[in-house]
Amino acid sequence: MCYPRFMFLKFKDEVSSILSNAVASAGFETDDTSLNESPHADISSSVAFKLAPKYRRSPKDICEVIYNNIKIPPDSYIERAETAGPYINFFVSRIFLNETTLRVLLDRENFGNLGYKGKVILEHTSANPDGPLHIGHIRNSVIGDTLARILKRAGYDVETQYYINDMGRQIAVVVWGLSNFKFDKTKKKDHAIAEVYINANKSLVDEKEHSPEVNGIMKEYETGNPETNKKFKDAIDTCMEGIKESLRRMNIHHDKFIWESQFVRSGSVNRMMDRIRKLDRAEIKDDALMVDLNDMGIQKSLVIQRSDGTSLYTTRDLAYHEWKTGQCDRMIDVLGADHKLISSQLKAMLRILNLKEPEIVIFEFVSLPEGSMSTRRGVFISADELLDEVEKAALLEVRKKRPDTDEEFKKKVASFVSIGAVRYDIVRVSPEKATTFDWAEAVDFEKQGAPFIQYAHARACSIIRNAGDEGIAFETFDPNVLLEEQEIALIKKLSCFENAIDSAARELKPNFLAIYARELADAFNQFYRYVPVLAAEPEFRAARLALVDCSRIVLANALDTLGITAPESM
């Protein structure tokens, strides 16, 4: 038996095509069927409004004429169409509902794969290795990792990269600091590096005579002094060990770590500068190489090469993107709002050079109630501290709610609940929203966050488990008996998973999926409350168990795509 690949998306396509035909046979012309989601229907069209001015007739009138030309074939995903004043409302059919359940049970953990093809390189986090990740950095990490998971589920071959800015002044400060200040071996390594970095910065401000030493270190690294190289590598490896540990704790993995210095060493930065020098728009000003980007809407000239001949961050970033261009179909960079200007300069330069431009996902800053964070000044809340505190609060919660369980179970639950809560809180809000960190909110488990969704999944597992214990089978079932309002609402919601993945992948908006997951959990909880499963008559019981299994699968897929554990028990 062969089921159509997409559920809700296919329904939408079918409505669109049937409506287009109806519009045409009614004698109207438009390429926009104006389909919208609506509380009044499964999908709704306001096409009559669009046609009204052109044909000088009332929307209601036009709507009526189009409606009379709608022909729904048998076996359609569309049950019926209705007019409601100027609107045409469409409703899904029994076939659609039945096939949705069968589709989920067939595809299982692959449900949601849209068959998109191509290689994507997604860069995220890329925090400077001068200290631990803080709560601003992990907004980048969580958005980036969730996007990578969404794109993977949609079918893309995704490679994630962490770009290590090892040639910046801040790393030179760390290297200088390591030979002048104590490295606290009792601390987690990235935190110990931060301590050195903060002390070094303080003394560089107080005792300005050390500043040339740092400049010297930087210069030696750019030219490639072996002894200096080793110092840099040791410092960075040390810090990255701690950063990777924090990322691992949050279920975040990078496929590759790319050092910006490799592009200097390989000569590709020099080749890039030579190539740019030959451009008509390039000019030498005070011995520095500049490019005029005024016609690209960027007033500021971009400096490509310093007057001493060395490269700049942007130049190296150009070489990095040139390198990526040859290896993928799409490049995505997740960057903080401070990179808005520089990323548009980068894109403009790549366009001029006829190279692939990255798609940039910008997220706004996370600040503390007292102001913005700074690793350099030591003003930040680390990801480790946040996770520790949230985990502590979660443990209290588990003790309260599951006093019957052993300590090991409680700790395990506290761990995945806290990580889920942190990830979900970050990913549920639009990246373009600037946020202020709030401890009370971070440790609040009352709100409908990740634990709400995880709990719905655990409930579904529990029913399946109980059915197994009682020897109740549901391999064969009749989906036609799923007629309760909550059952139908739940199946419709299951069918929208593909839609959620599709729009999140298309628009690079991970928050779409976060909202979907919450709505799915909501639909399942209502079903759970009103529709008995194990206590129902056998034919209903089998179909409902199948629906519970579908819910379990899609909840698990949604949680997995959000990088959050889908627990069997909590």
Binders of RNA in range 464-503 (CB under 7 A)? 466
Identity of the residue numbered 171: I
To RNA, the closest distance from the beta carbon of 531 in angstroms equals 6
Q: Identify whether the C-beta of residue 252 lies closer than 8 Å to the C-beta of residue 210.
A: no
To RNA, the closest distance from the beta carbon of 226 in angstroms equals 21
To RNA, the closest distance from the beta carbon of 111 in angstroms equals 22
Identity of the residue numbered 166: D
Instruction: Please give the residues from 261 up to 290 whose contact with RNA meets the rule CB under 7 A.
Output: 285-288
| Separation of alpha carbons 559 and 457, rounded Å | 9
Do the strands 288-291 and 302-305 form a parallel or antiparallel pair, or are they unpaired? antiparallel
* Tokens describing residue 43: 């999908």
Query: Of 71, 108, 306, 351, which one interacts with RNA (CB under 7 A)?
Result: 306
Query: Of 16, 25, 34, 262, which one interacts with RNA (CB under 7 A)?
Result: 34
Query: Of 139, 324, 459, 493, which one interacts with RNA (CB under 7 A)?
Result: 459
Instruction: Please give the residues from 111 up to 170 whose contact with RNA meets the rule CB under 7 A.
Output: 128, 165, 167-170
Q: Does 220 bind RNA (CB under 7 A)?
A: no
Name which of 99 and 511 has its Cβ closer to RNA.
511
Find the helix or strand (DSSP H, E) in which 557 lies.
helix 538-561
Stretch that binds RNA, among 100-108, 233-241, 348-356, 433-441 (CB under 7 A): 433-441
Query: Could you please report the per-residue DSSP string of 272-322?
Result: HHHHHHTSTTEEEETTEEEE--GGGT--SPEEEE-TTS-B-HHHHHHHHHH
Q: Does 66 bind RNA (CB under 7 A)?
A: no
Contacting residues for 65 by C-beta, under 8 A, at least 6 apart: 26, 27, 28
* Tokens describing residue 211: 């500043």
- Angle at Cα 453 formed by Cα 450 and Cα 458, nearest 5°? 120
Instruction: Please give the residues from 39 up to 58 whose contact with RNA meets the rule CB under 7 A.
Output: 39-41, 44, 46, 49-50, 52-53
Neighbours of 243 (CB within 10 A): 28
Task: Residue 111: name the closest of 125, 121, 101 by CA.
Answer: 101
| Interface characters, 504-533, with RNA (x: CB under 7 A) | ---x-x-xx--x--x---x--xx-xxxxxx
Q: Does 307 bind RNA (CB under 7 A)?
A: yes
* Tokens describing residue 363: 């997220």
Name which of 461 and 555 has its Cβ closer to RNA.
461
Q: Does 365 bind RNA (CB under 7 A)?
A: yes
To RNA, the closest distance from the beta carbon of 311 in angstroms equals 7
To RNA, the closest distance from the beta carbon of 86 in angstroms equals 7
To RNA, the closest distance from the beta carbon of 132 in angstroms equals 17
The size of the interface with RNA (CB under 7 A), counted in residues, is: 96
